[in-house]
């Protein structure tokens, strides 16, 4: 009788089909960050993947321009905000490692981002600490476009946690035209909301 029961139990275990495996791989991505294997919930971050994109290259060689658009970050009023940000953090770090071959710069588009979407101090500090040493070393410039008082304050507060070398790489840019004078803009996608903010700022006396 015991054997029969055991057989019935084994028959009731559903098979993990190839289609289900593909679906699972689509919903979850396994990455290695800091020599540790991590799983990213791709479904929950799907609406926010535009936060990081490749903006082409500058200078000679494969010097990448990485664009981070803060306006695409999740709203902190979400009930699962911390879970989303945890997975988005892993996605950003792993994507950065894939995009960067040599030296690179980050263009941080801060405009059109309400306070409720701004990443917290802890999140930004964690991002910096988990970035691979190679990526820290190869970062040549960190350009912040349309910097707000809030982002300037956050960077001032984090200064004790970051190296003086990194601090020296931070550059504030007040307009898209100023940005275009520094880097090629051909492959950089600027969200419409940021273009609109830029035009409004130009119209101010």
Q: How far is the C-alpha of 112 from the C-alpha of 198, rounded, in Å?
A: 9
The verdict on residue 23 lying in a domain is no
Could you give the number of structural domains in the chain?
1
- Asked if residues 144 and 124 have their Cβ atoms less than 8 Å apart, the reply is no
- Domain boundaries, position 160: 48-203
The verdict on residue 156 lying in a domain is yes
CATH code at 104? 3.40.525.10
The verdict on residue 188 lying in a domain is yes
List per-residue pLDDT tens for the chain, 205 residues long: 445 444 544 445 556 566 655 655 568 988 887 778 889 999 999 999 999 999 999 988 789 999 999 999 999 999 999 999 999 999 998 999 889 888 999 999 999 999 899 887 777 777 777 788 888 889 999 999 999 998 888 888 877 777 788 889 999 999 999 999 999 999 999 999 999 999 999 887 6
Q: How many CA atoms lie within 13 A of 87 on its CB side?
A: 20
pTM value? 0.81
The verdict on residue 177 lying in a domain is yes
The verdict on residue 40 lying in a domain is no
- Asked if residues 142 and 105 have their Cβ atoms less than 8 Å apart, the reply is yes
Q: How far is CA 120 from CA 21, 40, 147, 151, 170, in A?
A: 35, 20, 16, 10, 18
The verdict on residue 34 lying in a domain is no
The verdict on residue 38 lying in a domain is no
Quick one: how far is CA 103 from the chain centroid? 18
The verdict on residue 39 lying in a domain is no
Place of tokens 């476009």: 145
């Amino acid at each position: 009788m015991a054997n029969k029961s055991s057989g019935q139990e084994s028959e009731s275990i559903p098979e993990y089909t190839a289609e289900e495996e593909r679906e699972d791989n689509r919903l979850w991505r396994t990455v290695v960050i800091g020599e540790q294997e991590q799983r990213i919930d791709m479904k929950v971050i799907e609406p926010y993947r535009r936060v990081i994109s490749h903006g082409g290259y500058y200078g000679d060689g494969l010097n990448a321009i990485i664009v981070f658009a803060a306006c695409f970050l999740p709203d902190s009023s979400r009930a699962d905000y911390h879970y989303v940000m945890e997975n988005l953090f892993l996605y950003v770090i792993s994507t950065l490692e894939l995009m960067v071959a040599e030296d690179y710069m980050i263009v941080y588009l801060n405009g059109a981002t309400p306070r409720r979407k701004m990443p917290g101090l802890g999140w930004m500090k964690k991002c910096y600490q988990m970035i691979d040493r190679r990526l820290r070393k190869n970062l040549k410039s960190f350009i912040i476009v349309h910097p707000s008082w809030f982002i300037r304050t956050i960077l001032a507060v984090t200064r004790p946690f970051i190296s003086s070398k990194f601090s020296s790489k931070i550059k504030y840019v007040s307009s898209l035209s100023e940005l275009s004078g520094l880097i090629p803009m051909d492959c950089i996608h600027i969200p419409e909301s940021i273009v609109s903010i830029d035009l409004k700022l130009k119209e101010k006396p």
